[in-house]
Structure 1
């Protein structure tokens, strides 16, 4: 009985109240941007695009949680690449916008994106500016490969309160500008 009372007090102390009830844990656009920015070095790798070696780097990232009151996250990326072809290097600037449905993986204590789709691409390279649909499939393969193993947000389970809360069954709620993890009912 004392353990149950202690856990209840600890849980209530860790929760934060919102206008829609109790939210166990929440995070915002800027917190996801910061988490993804920490993962960008993993994304800077040698890839192949249309069979050519490419040095790829993400320069800037934007996050929009719940736009138009939809249960999605929209990620925007401004990236640069250098395509190596025929002993020459061609600089390319690529802007992508993708959207995906967030879900909470209770085993990994992290939020991932699924049903990811490409909303917009813009390519700027010597002599060409515009959309290049030839890159869409390959860009999505790279993005989906990255998002399949890298969450958009991971709970900090080194915090004792978060570690305890992460042991509860949690549901994910998307509201404009924020994701909330709440007790599953």
Structure 2
């Protein structure tokens, strides 16, 4: 009888702690961020050196990994379709990109931004296009950094849930944990 009582008390206590957690922070999962990125971010840019080599890049299939490779960073992966115009004529390429950024919560805009974004890896198909893409990497890196500095990776909305509505009113920063972004509330 006593064991059942202690078990029930432990369950109630765990439930209260979970409830308190919801009252002190809001958590965004990788899935939440990935769904937002798929719906709201369409990177399309013309980059390069006019007259020498230019590329039109369309980035799709953005996917985030939060706090996994580095504790305070988000790793973004995406696929890019590239149309290149150069002295060699028009060419097509595909690229799988890996980027890393520092997530930051903007309290005024109620949004998570990916700051200090850096291109950390790329795989080009066909491989013969790697040299051309290496030439364009600094331009691509700057274009991606500028894009994500201006466009959020996630914007809170009171329409989605009561938790997000509460986060909009009480948010005070951002913590990065493996697989999630935690927005703590002010007391």
Same fold (TM over 0.5): yes
Structure 1 portions without partners, runs of 5+: 1-15
Match of residue 83 from structure 1 = 84
- Hey, what's the Cα distance between the residues in 2 that align with 1:96 and 1:20? 40
Shift of 1:29: 1.3
Q: Is the 8 A contact 2:37 2:153 kept in 1?
A: yes
Larger radius of gyration: 2
- Hey, what's the Cα distance between the residues in 1 that align with 2:73 and 2:125? 28
Match of residue 62 from structure 1 = 63
- Hey, what's the Cα distance between the residues in 1 that align with 2:177 and 2:132? 31
Match of residue 93 from structure 1 = 94
Q: Is the 8 A contact 1:123 1:131 kept in 2?
A: no
Match of residue 49 from structure 1 = 48
Q: Is the 8 A contact 1:65 1:73 kept in 2?
A: yes
CA-atom RMSD, angstroms? Answer: 2.9
- 1:81–1:18 distance in 2 versus 1, CA, 3 Å: farther
Q: Taking structure 2 as the reference length, what is the TM-score of the superposition?
A: 0.75
- Hey, what's the Cα distance between the residues in 2 that align with 1:29 and 1:110? 15
- Structure with the bigger percentage of strand: 1
Structure 2 portions without partners, runs of 5+: 1-15
Q: Taking structure 1 as the reference length, what is the TM-score of the superposition?
A: 0.76
Map of 1:70-149 to 2, 5 A cutoff?
70-85=71-86, 88-125=89-126, 127-129=128-130, 132-149=133-150
- Structure with the bigger percentage of helix: 2
